[in-house]
Structure 1
């Protein structure tokens, strides 16, 4: 005869019975996540503009800290909360590690500065981001960098495989822009890039070029970029092992879809960037917010 020991929670020994989120400090309630993943909302659009610009500047410094500053290449755009027909973009040839909120440039969809600024804007960056913002009103921010792993994996013109839990956030949420039309200095090329995203995709691999990620907040776009760059690095490592005869095991479609639904909500992805934001602000002694 076997006996079962029951714990104080009423669960058999060796099993764990989780308390609800309301009953403790657990950060996950499978039935309700709204209280955990909260994106700030604003009634004052000027206050929202200030907040969003600070997070955008912090994204640049975070990318620099992660080693993705590459000369004058790379850009982030942010749809202006006050006037959604305008968007913020980084000044040309300003090092990401020195970026402050006050450095960002506000332009209209013709590339004209809306506010006085001593800075110039990267023409290719403007065309890419202007095309995306016009094509997708739901996209409020976009990040495009020539990061090492993304740039390397883009040479294959392929998406990434569902190799682990982290890559599952890109399940049916990643497109590939095949072909390379050179530096994006023509509006037609910008429109083709925007078209490659389609109506509901948030992330894009640009063949022979790099990565582009989008979001409803700049935090979401930045978190997607960090995750996609690491997914590309992971893919390259896995391909190297597979080339030596080690077979890959893939996450199943059902499991990948479920994991994506859990990890790629706007609030969840937004929260993924908050530790990086807090660290960036601390390391800059608050200068990034100026």
Structure 2
């Protein structure tokens, strides 16, 4: 019988942040390289579209449970997998905790309803923001924006988040501040300015308004939004103490960003939240 391997013979080498060796990021997420499943692939646009809408509805349920709903404000959009000039967005005045996949409305970049729940209407300001970003960023497939409490509070300072812990490093040099608040974004120009402020980043803090995150999947954008909201809360708590903060070094922040802020890892990060909501609601949001 072969001897049972000891920890000394099976242990993986520990990669330090100052090493330049390339790493399989997905494999590095789990012990001994047994990575979790990543972003799935599909055989048809129909299958991928339905999957996107289900995960979009699931993200809304997570947002509802986290207290991000505020009247008729807030929206998530997902680019259609087949028609790149169309995106799906939530209906106006339906609570995040009640949204289902079948409620979503498909519009083109000119604002015409072209599919989905054609009986519903969408948030006018939401359309201006989302359409502007989808126009300017072909790599962005999902956008999340709500008026979350701590995001609004931190936005009043018009300051970027500081790298004061490991998790906020997911936004290292990848988020900006839009400090030219122009009121409710009912005009196309306001949406365009927000898109310009986002640039090629993952997120933007909208002064006096809230937070906005983007991703290659709705799961990525949704996880980033939840993380950014909590990061704003952590920053506000740290500021309140008045004590000197220790900032993560640029070297370590860059390493954390490289390891943990890829589209694949951020997709995986959101799955426990999605699966928990699926468990609690018995998959009701998928209908």
Same fold (TM over 0.5): yes
Structure 2 vs 1, CA of residues 247 and 46 (structure 1 numbering), >3 Å: closer, same or farther? Answer: same
Q: Whole-Å Cα distance in 2 between the matches of residues 219 and 282 of structure 1?
A: 17
- 2:280 equivalent to 1:278: no
Quote the RMSD (CA, aligned, Å): 2.1
3-state SS, counterpart of residue 76 of structure 2: strand
Contact kept? 1:141, 1:218, Cα under 8 Å:
yes
- The aligned residue for residue 159 of structure 1 is 160
Runs of 4+ with deviation above 6 angstroms? none
Q: Whole-Å Cα distance in 2 between the matches of residues 195 and 270 of structure 1?
A: 25
Contact kept? 1:37, 1:267, Cα under 8 Å:
no
Contact kept? 1:143, 1:212, Cα under 8 Å:
yes
Q: Whole-Å Cα distance in 2 between the matches of residues 90 and 10 of structure 1?
A: 53
- The aligned residue for residue 123 of structure 2 is 122
Q: Deviations over 1:208-249 (max 9, x none)?
A: 10000000000000000000000000000000012xxx2111
- The aligned residue for residue 268 of structure 1 is 265
Cα displacement (A) at 1:18: 4.0
Cα displacement (A) at 1:84: 1.4
Structure 1 stretches lacking a partner, 5+ long: 1-6
- The aligned residue for residue 142 of structure 2 is 141
- The aligned residue for residue 246 of structure 2 is 249
When the two structures are superposed, what TM-score results if normalisation uses the length of structure 1? 0.88
Q: Deviations over 1:181-228 (max 9, x none)?
A: 000011111111111111x21111001100000000000000000000
Cα displacement (A) at 1:43: 2.6
- 2:11 equivalent to 1:17: yes
Q: Whole-Å Cα distance in 2 between the matches of residues 10 and 104 of structure 1?
A: 53
Q: Whole-Å Cα distance in 2 between the matches of residues 215 and 237 of structure 1?
A: 27
Q: Whole-Å Cα distance in 2 between the matches of residues 9 and 284 of structure 1?
A: 41
Structure 2 stretches lacking a partner, 5+ long: 15-26
Q: Whole-Å Cα distance in 2 between the matches of residues 26 and 204 of structure 1?
A: 28
When the two structures are superposed, what TM-score results if normalisation uses the length of structure 2? 0.89
Contact kept? 1:164, 1:250, Cα under 8 Å:
yes
Q: Whole-Å Cα distance in 2 between the matches of residues 227 and 9 of structure 1?
A: 34
- The aligned residue for residue 69 of structure 2 is 69
Cα displacement (A) at 1:27: 4.9
- 2:36 equivalent to 1:36: yes
- The aligned residue for residue 86 of structure 2 is 86
